Amino acid sequence: MSSARVPVRQWVLSLPIPLRLLLAAQPVLVTPVLQVVHRMITRHLLDQTGFKAFEADSGAVTLIQRFGSAVNLNIHLHCLVLDGVYRRTDGEPVFVQADSPTDEELQALLHKIITRLMKLLTRRGVLVEEEEGGGSSYLADADADADSDEACALRPLQAAACTYRIAFGPRAGQKVFTLQGAMPRDADFKQPLCADIQGNSAARGRALRR
């Protein structure tokens, strides 16, 4: 493998609160979820560079972060991904850099990731798909696993930690005051290269040379 430096870009995937709780309760699901995310990002990079899966491949290192900026329960993924692919050759693989996606392409990629995750978790029996109004919605299956006494005790604490609520005492159930919530926000502000669909979000950071 060549020792030449190639660009690496950070991808961040955040999940809606119900899925954060699901992964917290069943951490065994984190690995297959991560595999889906890596596979979809790799396919995106292959499309950007014009190669098929048997012609090239990419690579990534991921940090699974369990907390947010307020040290609240917030399972999300920080992926350092090669900003391109290595093309297979008879000799040394050749790196081909991918074009930066547009906001529309990132939105489409996030939609594909969500679709694959919902199918994965439905196959695993932890989500139940319901048809409504010509579309589909998904519900967590309360009977998907046999809850231990410990899991039952942790569930309300995890829910409180995910939703910035107080778990114990006379103010139990109330929202925690945060400085971020007190700061004025511009309703028209939108970060570039950041997609958001029903609580799922994906952001693609600046490319770095490594």
Q: For the full predicted model, state whether its pTM sits above 0.85.
A: no
**pLDDT of the residue at 75:** 86
Torsion of CA 115, 121, 123, 125, to 10 degrees: -150
Helix (H/G/I), strand (E/B), else coil: 64: strand
What does the block give as tokens for 192? 């570039």
The total of other beta-carbon atoms located within 10 Å of residue 97's CB is: 15
**pLDDT of the residue at 125:** 86
Residues, the chain: 210
DSSP assignment of 78-124: EEEEESEEEEP-SSS-EEEEPPPPPHHHHHHHHHHHHHHHHHHHHHT
**pLDDT of the residue at 96:** 96
**pLDDT of the residue at 16:** 84
Could you tell me the mean pLDDT of each successive run of 10 residues in the chain, 210 residues long?
78 86 87 95 95 95 85 86 94 92 89 91 81 54 52 61 62 60 45 72 66
Backbone angles phi, psi at 50, to 5 degrees: 80, 25
Q: How many CA atoms lie within 13 A of 46 on its CB side?
A: 17
Each domain of the chain, given as residue ranges in start order, spans 7-141+189-209
